[in-house]
Amino acid sequence: MKILVISLAGIGDTLFATPLIHELRANFPDATIDALVMWPGSRDLLENNPHVNRVFQKNLITASKLEAVNFLRSLGKNDYDISISTHPQSRIHYRFAAWLAGAKTRISHEYECFGVFDHWLVNRTLPQDYSRHAAENNLATLALIGVKPKLPVHELEIFHTSDEVKWADDFLAQNGLAGKKWLGVHVGSGGTKNLALRRWPLANYIALSRQLGEWRSDFPILFFGGPEEQIDHKIIHTALPNAIFPPTKNLRQAAALLRRARAFLSVDTALMHVAAAMKVPAQIVIETPTWNQPIEPFGNPFTLIKNPAVAGRGLDFYRYDGGDIKGTREEIIATMESVKVADVFATVTKLV
């Protein structure tokens, strides 16, 4: 048996695939289970996963059309029996990728943008379900290959090396943070489509940090992020000279560090899911227009700071139909501005 798990959407979405990958290994212990991902961060999260044989990573957006097609066709040489396009991958491009990779059985969820051509690109489907988590939508695909879940518990999985754990512990010790309570913060969000507009204003994060410093001087704040957050981090550092920016080289190092966090604050983004996988005790999420049940932190209790402009109507703003967040740039930004610093401050101080 040869299986290709396709997770070409967001980095956090690749974490949603890890319970399925573990179940595939439990059901088919001798199978070849490979993964196809878009982003280096997705590859990082699957590195060292004992249930995966190989991870293929290619940015199909920046590659030329010919390069992308040739790469996907090359995967067909592996003669996969089954490919599973994991949830949520709504755009037809993902199903075209599955068709080019050439597995005999090509599994996908059906989305609102599905048409006749989609059913030609994939040949086994099931409806997506907005009432359950994406990880559970993924596990539902097992029925299409005639097996049932075997594991008693399903969790998002990241497998660290001893060097990564040591790096995190050494960083905390060198910065006087070992054994202390501290808050992790991610000010960013996804950068595809118009998803960057769902960020909480940077000025609000700075104001919140100042208030938390006045509340407790012994409660450090660590700002997490990658190259996409470099400009924002420079602004924060200018405003908050004592702010701490862990020099993480990848998401695996960030995850190893977050395993030691007392609390984590963000909007719905990849690092939110990393924090959930690391079981951060006090996970706090600011509601955005993209918030819905399929992308909640999986397997970890969390507190949602309600957004009065969204008011639980995430599906009115954003659905898995291949489109952007609905609304103008100004309207989406105003939606995030409706979440007040005082409300976030009250939640953080109550939980920690």
Question: Each residue of 69-90: pLDDT tens digit?
Answer: 999 999 999 999 999 999 999 9
Fold match, 2-145 / 162-351: yes
3 state DSSP class of 107: strand
Specify the pLDDT at position 352.
87
Strand partners, 124: 107
Domain residue spans of the chain: 2-145, 162-351
* Number of neighbouring beta carbons within 10 Å of residue 321: 12
Specify the pLDDT at position 349.
96
Residue closest to 55 by CA, chosen among 64, 63, 45, 65: 45
Strand partners, 125: 108
Written as six digits, the tokens of 249 are 């080289």
- pTM > 0.75: yes or no: yes
* Number of neighbouring beta carbons within 10 Å of residue 241: 7
Cβ atoms of 274 and 258 within 8 Å: the answer is: yes
Q: Which segments of the chain have a pLDDT < 50? A: none
Return left, alpha or beta for 79; rule: phi > 0 is left, psi -120 to 50 is alpha, else beta: left
Specify the pLDDT at position 16.
98
3 state DSSP class of 263: strand
Q: Which CATH number fits domain 2-145: 1.20.1730.10, 3.40.50.2000, 1.10.3720.10, 3.40.640.10?
A: 3.40.50.2000
Dihedral angle of Cα 184, 190, 196, 197, to the nearest 10 degrees? -80
Task: Quickly list DSSP for 34-77.
Answer: EEEESSHHHHHHHTT-TT-SEEEE--TTTS-HHHHHHHHHHHGG
Q: Tell me the chain's radius of gyration from C-alpha atoms.
A: 20
Cβ atoms of 246 and 169 within 8 Å: the answer is: no
Report how far apart, in Å, the C-alpha atoms of 182 and of each of 175, 263, 323 are.
12, 7, 37
CATH class of 162-351: alpha beta
Dihedral sign for Cα 346, 333, 133, 250, please: negative
Residue 75 corresponds to which amino acid? L
3 state DSSP class of 199: coil
Strand partners, 126: 109
Specify the pLDDT at position 22.
98
Specify the pLDDT at position 190.
76
Helices 230-239, 202-215: inter-axial angle, 10-degree rounding: 40
Residue 261 corresponds to which amino acid? A
Specify the pLDDT at position 268.
95
Cβ atoms of 263 and 351 within 8 Å: the answer is: yes
The shares of helix, strand and coil residues in the chain, as percent rounded to the nearest 5, are 45, 15, 40
